[in-house]
Amino acid sequence: MLSNLKKFLVLNSVSSATSSSLGNFNDKVKKVRLLKYDNLRGLGILLVVLFHLMNPFSSVPFYGAIAKSSMIIIMPVIFFVSGYFSKVDENTEIKAFKGIFIPYIFFCTLWIIFTVIVLGSNIPKMPYIVPARGLWYLLTLFLMRLFLPIFVRIKHFFWIMIAGSLLIGLVTFGSNIFAFTKFIYYLPLFMLGYYFKNSDYYLNTINPKLKGLFLKIKDFFVNYKLITFGILALLLISLTFVFRTYPSGFFSFELSYSQLDLGNKIGMLMRLLVLLASLFAVILMNYLMTDKETFLTKIGKNSLAVYVLHFYFTRILDIYFIHSDLGSFLLDNPYLAGVYIVITALIITYVLSRDFITNILNKIFDIISKIFIKPAPN
């Protein structure tokens, strides 16, 4: 019986409220849990780098199909893990400000300087309000963490956000102010991660029969990983076929259904399909991911540095390499392009995931925090 209890704790990542007689075991559970979710986040970040390196080759049908299918899982798994690592306490808001908003302002400023000096671009009309390249993730994550104490108090919030992610597509926005549409769309995935972390509590709030069904389904996916992987692969392949003619803008979740030339009913139906597929795929990936330390672990632990800095590499490569004679040769040779994409992604990810880069960034953020944030009162 004790062994079954331990197995349940590992798979569901229960809280520290477990009996003290299992205290040592819980320490091990915490370590396993962190490695598993660092691996998941590392995989998501690696896929982000691969995706952005793949963009110049999106006109090749094979790479275009891969890009569309990958968008169903890349940011969803990152938001899922972000939700998993989130918690509600008396310092939630200040932690979000220090850990996310300050880096957001810093990297937006750095990107503006880079684009103006190196690329010769103009200063954006609404800096910081409209996120700079790729930095919408930090802004949306900040908002999610900031309002999490409120979200967890709202009944049926997950289902409300499912509806919200569909209804937001009915509204046409002039610009991506505060990444609001992305914030609404990805919020259910963020909350799913939070619910997973606190699954022992939330499972006890539902009907016992439904709880038993969920646990049986979970056990099946965990115990038959080959079948689970097959289901995930079949899901992605099927959706790639379904969305093969859809514009990539559909997966940006910034454009309204009318801007995509979709009817509201069709637009909502297809967005619901993508959202449900992302939720299901993330759950499958969660059960498939190893709890052992891998090369993905360090990427996951140093994910911020990889995420925000890889844009400089991909942008420079796109301008100065892809549009060169050698780059044109790659555009005409899809197989060599694939080799280039994979090798370059591994190199960029490896370099940016080194501890010294994260340490430098943390020191910078600490200095900025001391300038703008008062010490907590005793």
pLDDT score, position 27: 46
**247-305 confidence digits (pLDDT tens):** 878 899 999 999 999 989 999 999 999 999 999 999 999 999 999 999 999 999 999 99
The dihedral through the CA atoms of 86, 88, 94, 95 has a sign that is negative
User: Residues 204, 93: contact at Cβ < 8 Å?
Assistant: no
pLDDT score, position 83: 97
pLDDT score, position 284: 97
The dihedral through the CA atoms of 182, 183, 188, 189 has a sign that is positive
User: Residues 358, 304: contact at Cβ < 8 Å?
Assistant: yes
pLDDT score, position 34: 76
pLDDT score, position 171: 93
Distances in Å between the Cα of 354 and the Cα atoms of 36, 109, 222, 302 are 19, 23, 32, 7
Q: Give the CA radius of gyration of the chain.
A: 21
Distances in Å between the Cα of 128 and the Cα atoms of 3, 123, 237 are 52, 11, 37
130 phi and psi angles, rounded to 5 deg: -100, 115
pLDDT score, position 271: 96
pLDDT score, position 202: 83
pTM for this entry = 0.88
| Residues in the chain where the model's pLDDT stays below 50 | 1-32
pLDDT score, position 6: 42
**5-27 confidence digits (pLDDT tens):** 444 444 444 333 433 333 444 44
pLDDT score, position 378: 64
C-alpha 231/C-alpha 273 separation (Å) is 16
pLDDT score, position 19: 36
Full DSSP string of 258-305:
TTTT--HHHHHHHHHHHHHHHHHHHHHHHHHS-SS--HHHHHHHTHHH
pLDDT score, position 14: 38
Tally helices (H) and strands (E) across the chain.
18, 0
- 140: tokens are 């949306």
User: Residues 376, 369: contact at Cβ < 8 Å?
Assistant: no
Partners of residue 127 on adjacent β-strands: 130
